[in-house]
Amino acid sequence: QQQVKQSPQSLIVQKGGISIINCAYENTAFDYFPWYQQFPGKGPALLIAIRPDVSEKKEGRFTISFNKSAKQFSLHIMDSQPGDSATYFCAASPGSGNTGKLIFGQGTTLQVKP
């Protein structure tokens, strides 16, 4: 019940295309859903986050779609660029809002081909 399931494990997209990564959760107590980008040998960096009372949030080329009834959320990267090639993690925070304590998905390795 504490798991966050992420798919696909890896993704190859052409430059300019749309990258879509999906996550699903079981625990309805999760109240904050961030997405992180991680480059090799570095710590994860926050990309965008959403609360369950919002169905969509957009920041630049990154959009989170959130389906509370299905307990699913996804990251869309528009106009994908080679510099976006990295590992992406979805996460969820139990409790009220962003407690800092995060349960991470398994990660998706994105490769954007020039």
Partner 1 sequence: GAVVSQHPSWVICKSGTSVKIECRSLDFQATTMFWYRQFPKQSLMLMATSNEGSKATYEQGVEKDKFLINHASLTLSTLTVTSAHPEDSSFYICSAGQGEGYGYTFGSGTRLTVV
Residues that bind partner 1 (CB under 8 A): 36, 41-46, 89, 96-107
Complex with partner 1: residue 100 or 114, whichever CB lies closer: 100
Minimum CB separation from partner 1 for residue 23, in Å?
12
Nearest residue (CB) to partner 1, 53 versus 69: 53
Q: How far is the CB of 66 from partner 1 (least distance, A)?
A: 19
Strands annotated E in the chain? 4-7, 10-14, 19-25, 30-38, 45-50, 56-59, 62-67, 72-77, 86-94, 103-104, 108-113
Compute the least distance from the CB of residue 87 to partner 1, in Å.
Answer: 9
d(CA 6, CA 74) in angstroms, rounded, equals: 9
